[in-house]
Amino acid sequence: MFKPYLILALILLSAPQAFALTMPAAVLGAPLRYIVLEEARSEDRASTQGLLNIFLAVGQLSGAAIVGAVATSVGGGTVGYQNAIGVLAVITFLMCMVALLLKRRASSVVVT
């Protein structure tokens, strides 16, 4: 028997998780491109963009490998994935600390 309220409930319950899983990719891509392309010379921007795409792909693959390795080594299941997310949180924290060391740019706001 078709129960539309169950489908609606599943959609409403899964929407926040889907949003949470897709937002980091959308948020992290643009700032990295901005930083890298601003630092590259104009004649090197195309190859810089390509190299950045390669590094992003390697990062996605290694992140998935880290999650799988940690989750499996702890025993799998919920506990394994909790530990894997904890490891990723530590790596993310370290990356944020490194990001604070980036040189600051002068404000480019033009007042007319």
Per-residue pLDDT tens over the stretch 76-93:
888 888 888 888 888 888
The answer to whether position 52 is within a domain reads yes
How confident is the model at residue 103, as a pLDDT?
A: 73
Are 80 and 71 contacting, i.e. CB atoms less than 8 angstroms apart? yes
The answer to whether position 106 is within a domain reads no
The answer to whether position 109 is within a domain reads no
pTM of the model: 0.59
How confident is the model at residue 67, as a pLDDT?
A: 85
Cα 42 to chain center, whole Å?
27
The answer to whether position 108 is within a domain reads no
The answer to whether position 104 is within a domain reads no
How confident is the model at residue 8, as a pLDDT?
A: 62
* Helix%, strand%, coil% for the chain, nearest 5: 80, 0, 20
* Enclosing domain of residue 33: 4-99
Under-50 pLDDT residues of the chain: none
Q: How many domains does the chain have?
A: 1
The answer to whether position 110 is within a domain reads no
How confident is the model at residue 62, as a pLDDT?
A: 85
The answer to whether position 107 is within a domain reads no
pLDDT mean across residues, the chain: 76
The answer to whether position 105 is within a domain reads no
